[in-house]
Amino acid sequence: MTEATSAELAAMARAIELAARGLGTTSPNPVVGCVILNAAGEVVGEGFHAYAGGPHAEIVALAQAGERAKGGTAVVTLEPCNHTGRTGPCAQALINAGVIRVVLAVSDPNPAATGGADTLRAAGVQVITGVREAEATKGNIAWLSAVRRGRPYLIWKFASTIDGRSAAADGTSMWITSEASRMDVHALRGTVDAIIVGVGTVLADDSRLTARNLRDGSLAIRQPMRVVVDSDGRTPLGAKVRDGAAPTWIATAAEVGVDATGKVDLVVLMTELYARGVRSALLEGGPTLAGAFLSAGLVDKIVGYIAPKLLGAGPAALLGAGVKTITDAIELDVTDVDKVGPDLRITAVPKREN
């Protein structure tokens, strides 16, 4: 048998659902889900990787399955790891449990952890790969992209009116979008490892840049790192981003290095963030910083909150981005359009040549 059974396909769909529960808490590790089927093809164990340093999905599922895993199948969203870090190798744990078949979605691109499939096959375990691969990749896209490229997966979030204005002509911008959209943004913040803004945003808004519940003001348990791109070190000592509520890095040109314009080198910044354990980041800076990241080809996903309002004048949501003429326009693939309160949330990814 070389293809996944209907029971295994259903189990993989479930494993992908389970993996999503770890979004925002597993970094710098991936999100992973696992389902154990007994010899009769019945679900006897489930698990997901909940937090970095905690038990991996396979270990949780095997503990639930117990002796029922013997002679059964492990269905897992990512190739079982083959190394000992803060936890032991999952490939060996599956072998020790007596699993005779492993169905996986995505091969592990991490050089330190890959090889689990080979270890399993060497022990006589049948391994089927690529099952629901596209779905599992989508659910783990930030980590997979980051590990393959050595830089965080970057989401640019912006809010604007229908005519593309981020503020009125007099500079007022609170609130362009609805409370429902702002709550959605806080949920989005809770799924990433870092929030990036420019010093201009800090000086103008003095936001805390934390993930919190707007209903009661409480902070999320895990806070993303706050990153201020501040070429000349102008972030005030009393700024809210320095309040200790979350890790903060004021990234200056003197520390990071400069690009051709004398500003913080964004490519180096992203490489340094990866070295600091950041696998996904949310860009919430102003239009100029957004344009710089887009121009450098560093934006992987765009989430725009569009309010049903018209201003007719005022700052644009995006400036620069390296576009000089219509043929330079950055083309996007719209992947989702949804209504959030009275607003539209548009999700898109830049089209890139392969």
Which residues neighbour 143 within 8 Å (Cβ) at sequence distance 6 or greater?
Answer: 27, 28, 29, 30, 31, 153, 279, 280
Closest CA to 197 of 262, 142, 248: 248
Distance CA 95, CA 80 (A): 11
Please state the φ and ψ torsions of residue 9, each to the nearest 5 degrees.
-65, -40
Tell whether 207 is in a known binding site. Answer: no
Q: What is the pLDDT along the chain (354 residues), one digit of tens a residue?
A: 468 999 999 999 999 999 999 988 888 999 999 999 999 999 999 999 999 889 999 999 999 999 999 999 999 999 999 877 666 799 999 999 999 999 999 999 987 777 899 999 999 999 999 999 999 999 999 999 999 999 999 999 999 999 999 988 887 777 889 999 999 999 999 899 999 999 999 998 888 898 877 666 677 677 899 999 999 999 999 999 999 889 999 999 999 999 988 899 999 999 999 999 999 999 997 899 999 999 999 999 999 999 999 999 999 999 988 888 999 899 999 999 999 999 999 999 999 754
Fold entry, domain 150-350? Dihydrofolate Reductase, subunit A (3.40.430)
Q: What's the one-letter identity of residue 337?
A: V
Retrieve residue 72's tokens: 């059964």
pLDDT attached to residue 214 = 64
Is 291 annotated among the ligand-binding residues?
A: yes
Any known ligand binding at 289?
A: yes
CA 157 to each of CA 160, 192, 244, 301, 322: distance values in angstroms, whole numbers, following the listed order:
10, 12, 24, 9, 19
Q: CB of 46 within 8 A of CB of 55?
A: no
DSSP 43-88: EEEEEE--STTS--HHHHHHHHHGGGGTT-EEEEEEPPP-S-SSS-
Task: Count Cβ atoms below 10 Å from residue 28 Cβ, excluding itself.
Answer: 16
Report the DSSP beta bridge partners of residue 296. Answer: none
Helix (H) or strand (E) holding 105: strand 101-106
At the top level of CATH, the class of 6-146 is alpha beta
Domain ranges of the chain: 6-146, 150-350
Residue 71 among known ligand-binding residues: no
Long-range CB pairs of 149-152, under 8 A, 24+ apart, other chains included: 150/271, 150/274, 151/267, 151/270, 151/271, 151/273, 151/274, 151/298, 152/193, 152/194, 152/270, 152/273, 152/274, 152/278, 152/279, 152/280, 152/281
11 is in an annotated binding site: no
The answer for residues whose C-beta is within 8 angstroms of residue 99's C-beta and 6 or more apart is: 36, 69, 70, 71, 72, 73, 74, 125
Q: Give the ranges where 213-339 is alpha helix by DSSP (H).
A: 253-256, 266-275, 287-295
pLDDT, residue 2, reads 62
Same fold, 6-146 and 150-350: no
Is 189 assigned to a binding site? yes
Alpha-carbon Rg for the chain in angstroms: 22
3-state SS record for 312-353: CCCCECCCCCCCCCHHHCCCEEEEEEEEECCEEEEEEEECCC
Is 296 one of the annotated binding-site residues? Answer: no
Find where tokens 């990787």 sit: 49
Question: Is 149 among the annotated ligand-binding positions?
Answer: no
Task: Cite the active site residues.
Answer: 58
Query: Is position 201 annotated in a ligand binding site?
Result: yes
Count Cα neighbours of 120 within 13 Å in the Cβ-side half-sphere. Answer: 28
Question: Quick one: 331 exposed, middle or buried, by C-beta within 10 A (0-12, 13-18, 19+)?
Answer: exposed
Is residue 73 a contact partner of residue 80, using CB atoms and an 8 Å limit? Answer: no
Amino acid identity for residue 332 in this structure: L
